């Protein structure tokens, strides 16, 4: 039967089910197919903090959202056009987010009175009109999967597990995706269990064929490949990009990589990833706690490694004292904070940007630390290299801020050729630099104010460092009042010096007519960009700038801000960057804040920006 194929510019799909239903895997696969096909895309995985919350409950729902388009896009989309819901809980938990008229594909298998009651429904929404705003396809996906696998000899339970593949097959048909990749993937993943591989492939094909054959779906859709800059692309999550960025920085600086870390969501995957790359000289140390993690990294830094520690908010709080020591020792160290919802344990699997001020001020005394932030999953790669560059060049701990949204979200990424990356020249001290052949471990480079890095093993440069205030140049303990004042200001000056080598801030103001500037940092890049496009589409000029460097700010930031009547700062916190900007530049920046554990929705943000443009 020949079917209609309709062209779309963009689609937002969300698939949702129990945490045990394999939704993240299904989402990943659909993303890969879509990436292979050449669409631009952005993803948003969302899962509960529990490993396996009880089946069929709202708390146990896991979902994966994918936005893909024939043009470049910036966010995983606000409101799904399509929801695939594998059980009543998944339907209930996600219904509120759908746009009117959205397509709903629901596995009706589990819509029993009991299951419905469990999520607080006393009648069946598939039947009672609840869903009339939507294009509902209630299908017994589970049963169809079981039927497809009837001959395999698998138990009902095992066979039922493949229902996600059935759903994926159906989606693949609907959106005209290539299927070879998925089949190869399944074969590879279950290479040791061929009967499971077979079942999954059968279910996947059955789903595809069901779309092709049945009359339920009158149309398939096509979203043309996007035109992106030329190059080789892959899909990548933020944590993976960050890990690769660190290895690349290690190669470009010629220093072995050392990671000292303690597992914590959503940072653990960086530890997992790096532990797999020992052949590149990467040492990973799973420490007894966060303090030992950063401590070991600092020890490795003293020994001449590119030293890194990774954590999330609660773990970063524990590292404060040691970060202060690193400031005092003036050794390079990259501290990655993959932010999550706080305070305290907060919302471990949700995203937030509320550690900026902790990164700035979370330790005793005047202990300034440069801060860089990543703005998209792929950008985590570049941000990691930039953090390493600053740390190594200025001999200082550096914060690299990412967050749960970047960490797990993915996007197509143009893979750089390693030799296009900046080199990070590092030169260990090898000769005495003081009078009479002495070594002065705190004699500074006049340009960067960096002190020499003399690693153990270098004859003649034996020296001692420590956390007590040090005399200028010699580094000996000093309680001298003027020396202390000098050293406090010098450490600050060194961090301020970072700005000198930064490029001017890029401002996106196509018409040049904008009176309002939207300033952002970190993972709000996508939503802000999307919101700004919406505003512009309505004919209003508006400018956007996004900060990679939060400390120090780029040197021209003040001048940029002064070009605009109003500056708006959207943040997933209560206004942390806004506070820093207000204090430094004394401008009445408007803070737009949302602390919902979720990225901004472009649509809502656009409305708020429009409000500022309209009413100032």
Partner 1 sequence: MADLGLKAKDFKSDQEVRWCPGCGDYAILAAVQGFMPELGIPRENIVFVSGIGCSSRFPYYMNTYGMHSIHGRAPAIATGLSTSRPDLSVWVVTGDGDSLSIGGNHLIHALRRNVNLKILLFNNRIYGLTKGQYSPTSELGKITKSTPMGSLDRPFNPVSVALGAEGTFVARTLDSDRKHLTSVLRAAAAHQGTALIEIYQNCNIFNDGAFDLLKESDSREDWIIPLEHGRPIRFGKDGSKAVVRASDGSLTVADQVDEDDPRLVIHDAHVENPSYAFSLARLSSSDARYAPMGVIRSVTRPTYDHLMTDQLDTAAAAAPGDESALQKLILGNDTWQVA
Residues that bind ligand SF4 (CB under 6 A): 51-52
Q: Which stretch binds its own copies (CB under 8 A): 115-123, 207-215, 451-459, 483-491?
A: 483-491
Can you read off the two tokens belonging to residue 521? 């940092």
Burial class (CB in 10 A: 0-12, 13-18, 19+), 425: exposed
Q: Please select the residue that binds partner 1; options are 418, 500, 559, 574, rule is CB under 8 A.
A: 418
> With b meaning 16 or more CB within 10 Å and e meaning fewer, what string describes 23-49?
bbebbbbbbbbbbbbbbbbbbbbbbbe
478 lines the binding site for partner 1 (CB under 8 A)? no
Q: Please select the residue that binds its own copies; options are 5, 6, 52, 59, rule is CB under 8 A.
A: 59
The bridge status of strand 549-551 relative to strand 566-571 is unpaired
Distance CA(322)–CA(192), nearest Å, equals: 46
Q: Look at residues 560, 451, 450, 461 and name the one whose alpha carbon lies nearest to residue 503.
A: 560
Q: Please select the residue that binds its own copies; options are 459, 481, 512, 539, rule is CB under 8 A.
A: 481
Mask of contacts with partner 1, 365-404, x by CB under 8 A? ----------------------------------------
Taking a C-beta distance cutoff of 8 angstroms, is the pair 527, 605 a contact? yes
258 lines the binding site for partner 1 (CB under 8 A)? yes
Distance CA(398)–CA(379), nearest Å, equals: 17
By a kind-dependent CB cut-off of 5 to 8 A, residue 103 interacts, out of ligand SF4, partner 1, its own copies, none, with: none
Q: Which stretch binds partner 1 (CB under 8 A): 9-17, 120-128, 285-293, 582-590?
A: 285-293
Q: CB-based contacts of 3: which residues, under 8 Å, 6+ apart?
A: 212, 217, 218, 219, 220
Can you read off the two tokens belonging to residue 425? 């020249």
Complex with ligand SF4: residue 262 or 285, whichever CB lies closer: 262
Taking a C-beta distance cutoff of 8 angstroms, is the pair 337, 311 a contact? yes
Taking a C-beta distance cutoff of 8 angstroms, is the pair 346, 316 a contact? no
Can you read off the two tokens belonging to residue 363? 């330790």
Distance CA(360)–CA(371), nearest Å, equals: 8
Burial class (CB in 10 A: 0-12, 13-18, 19+), 409: buried
* In the complex, minimum distance from the CB of residue 409 to its own copies, in angstroms, rounded to a whole number: 17
Is residue 348 classed as helix, strand or coil in its secondary structure?
A: coil
Is residue 583 classed as helix, strand or coil in its secondary structure?
A: helix
Query: At what angle are helices 238-253 and 379-394 packed, to 10 degrees?
Result: 40
24 lines the binding site for its own copies (CB under 8 A)? no
* In the complex, minimum distance from the CB of residue 23 to ligand SF4, in angstroms, rounded to a whole number: 17
Complex with partner 1: residue 20 or 194, whichever CB lies closer: 20
Complex with ligand TPP: residue 395 or 470, whichever CB lies closer: 470
Residue with nearest beta carbon to ligand TPP: 264
Q: Between residue 439 and residue 458, which ones bind partner 1 under the rule CB under 8 A? A: 456-458
By a kind-dependent CB cut-off of 5 to 8 A, residue 271 interacts, out of ligand TPP, its own copies, partner 1, none, with: partner 1
First to last CA, the chain: 57
Interacting residue ranges for ligand TPP, rule: CB under 6 A: 262-264, 290, 314-315, 318, 345
Count of residues engaged in binding partner 1, rule: CB under 8 A = 97
* In the complex, minimum distance from the CB of residue 193 to its own copies, in angstroms, rounded to a whole number: 34
244 lines the binding site for partner 1 (CB under 8 A)? yes
Q: Please select the residue that binds partner 1; options are 83, 131, 139, 264, rule is CB under 8 A.
A: 264
Q: Which stretch binds partner 1 (CB under 8 A): 78-86, 160-168, 222-230, 524-532?
A: 222-230
Is residue 238 classed as helix, strand or coil in its secondary structure?
A: helix
Can you read off the two tokens belonging to residue 321? 């004292």
366 lines the binding site for its own copies (CB under 8 A)? yes
Distance CA(54)–CA(7), nearest Å, equals: 40
* In the complex, minimum distance from the CB of residue 367 to its own copies, in angstroms, rounded to a whole number: 4
> How far is residue 529 from each of residues 4, 26, 467, measured CA to CA in Å?
34, 28, 44
Q: Between residue 166 and residue 195, which ones bind partner 1 under the rule CB under 8 A? A: 181
By a kind-dependent CB cut-off of 5 to 8 A, residue 272 interacts, out of partner 1, its own copies, ligand TPP, none, with: partner 1
* In the complex, minimum distance from the CB of residue 52 to ligand SF4, in angstroms, rounded to a whole number: 6
* In the complex, minimum distance from the CB of residue 317 to partner 1, in angstroms, rounded to a whole number: 10
DSSP-assigned letter for residue 175: T
Q: Please select the residue that binds its own copies; options are 488, 499, 502, 608, rule is CB under 8 A.
A: 488
> How far is residue 66 from each of residues 12, 159, 223, 349, measured CA to CA in Å?
6, 27, 13, 18
Complex with ligand SF4: residue 52 or 71, whichever CB lies closer: 52
By a kind-dependent CB cut-off of 5 to 8 A, residue 504 interacts, out of its own copies, ligand SF4, partner 1, none, with: none
574 lines the binding site for its own copies (CB under 8 A)? yes
Q: Which stretch binds its own copies (CB under 8 A): 20-28, 135-143, 171-179, 335-343?
A: 335-343
DSSP-assigned letter for residue 38: T
By a kind-dependent CB cut-off of 5 to 8 A, residue 588 interacts, out of partner 1, its own copies, ligand TPP, none, with: its own copies
417 lines the binding site for its own copies (CB under 8 A)? no
Is residue 336 classed as helix, strand or coil in its secondary structure?
A: strand
DSSP-assigned letter for residue 416: P
Which residues lie near its own copies (CB under 8 A)?
A: 48-49, 59, 312-314, 316-318, 320-321, 324-325, 327-328, 339, 341-350, 352, 354-355, 357-358, 360-367, 466-469, 479, 481-482, 484-485, 488-489, 491-492, 573-574, 579-580, 582-584, 586-588, 594-598
């Amino acid at each position: 039967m020949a079917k209609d194929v309709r062209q779309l510019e963009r689609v937002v799909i969300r698939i949702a089910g129990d945490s045990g239903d394999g939704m993240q895997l299904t989402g990943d696969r659909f993303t890969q197919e879509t990436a292979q096909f050449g669409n631009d895309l952005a993803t948003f995985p969302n899962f509960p903090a529990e490993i396996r919350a009880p089946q069929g409950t709202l708390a146990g729902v896991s979902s994966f959202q994918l936005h893909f388009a024939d043009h470049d896009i910036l966010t995983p989309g606000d409101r799904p056009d399509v929801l695939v819901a594998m059980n009543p809980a998944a339907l209930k938990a996600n219904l509120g987010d759908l746009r009117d008229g959205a397509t709903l594909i629901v596995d009706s298998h589990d819509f029993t009175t009991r299951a419905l009651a469990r999520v607080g429904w006393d009648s069946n929404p598939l039947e009672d009109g609840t869903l009339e705003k939507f294009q509902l396809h209630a299908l017994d996906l589970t049963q169809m999967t079981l039927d497809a696998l009837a001959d395999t000899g698998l138990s009902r339970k095992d066979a039922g597990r493949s229902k996600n593949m059935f759903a994926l097959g159906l989606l693949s048909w609907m959106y005209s995706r290539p299927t070879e990749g998925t089949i190869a993937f399944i074969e590879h993943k279950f290479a040791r269990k061929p009967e499971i591989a077979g079942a999954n492939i059968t279910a996947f094909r059955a789903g595809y064929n069901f779309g092709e054959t049945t009359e339920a779906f009158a149309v398939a859709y096509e979203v043309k490949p996007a035109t992106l800059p030329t190059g080789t692309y892959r899909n990548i999550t933020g944590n993976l990009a960050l890990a690769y960025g660190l290895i690349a920085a290690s190669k470009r600086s010629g220093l072995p990589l050392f990671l000292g870390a303690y597992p914590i969501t959503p940072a653990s995957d960086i530890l997992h990833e790096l532990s797999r790359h020992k052949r590149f000289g990467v040492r990973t140390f799973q420490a007894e706690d966060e303090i030992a993690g950063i401590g070991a990294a600092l020890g490795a830094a003293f020994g001449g490694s590119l030293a890194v520690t990774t954590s999330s908010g609660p773990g970063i709080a524990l590292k404060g004292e040691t970060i202060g020591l690193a400031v005092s020792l003036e050794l390079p160290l990259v501290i990655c904070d993959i932010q999550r919802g706080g305070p305290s344990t907060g919302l471990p699997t949700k995203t937030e940007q509320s550690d900026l001020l902790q990164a700035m001020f979370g330790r005793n005394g005047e202990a300034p630390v440069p801060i860089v932030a990543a703005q998209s999953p792929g950008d985590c790669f570049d941000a990691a290299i930039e953090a390493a560059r600053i740390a190594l060049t200025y001999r200082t701990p550096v914060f690299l801020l990412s967050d749960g949204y970047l960490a797990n979200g993915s996007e197509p990424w143009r893979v750089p050729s390693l030799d296009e990356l900046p080199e990070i020249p590092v030169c260990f001290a090898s000769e005495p630099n003081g009078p009479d052949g002495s070594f002065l471990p705190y004699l500074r480079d006049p340009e960067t104010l960096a002190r020499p890095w003399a690693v153990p093993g270098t004859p003649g440069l034996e020296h001692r460092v420590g956390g007590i205030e040090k005399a200028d140049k010699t580094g000996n303990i000093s309680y001298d009042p003027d020396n202390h004042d000098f050293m406090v200001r010098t450490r600050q000056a060194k961090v301020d010096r970072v700005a000198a080598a930064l490029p001017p801030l890029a401002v996106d103001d196509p018409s040049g007519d904008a009176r309002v500037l939207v300033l952002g940092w970190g993972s709000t890049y996508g939503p802000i960009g999307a919101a700004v496009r919406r505003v512009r589409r309505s004919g209003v000029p508006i400018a956007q700038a996004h900060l990679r460097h939060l400390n120090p700010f780029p040197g021209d930031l003040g001048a940029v801000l002064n070009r605009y009547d109003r500056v708006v700062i959207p943040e997933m916190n209560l206004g942390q960057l806004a506070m820093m900007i207000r204090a430094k530049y004394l401008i009445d920046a408007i803070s737009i804040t949302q602390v919902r554990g979720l990225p901004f929705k472009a649509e809502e943000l656009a409305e708020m920006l429009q409000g500022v443009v309209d009413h100032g």
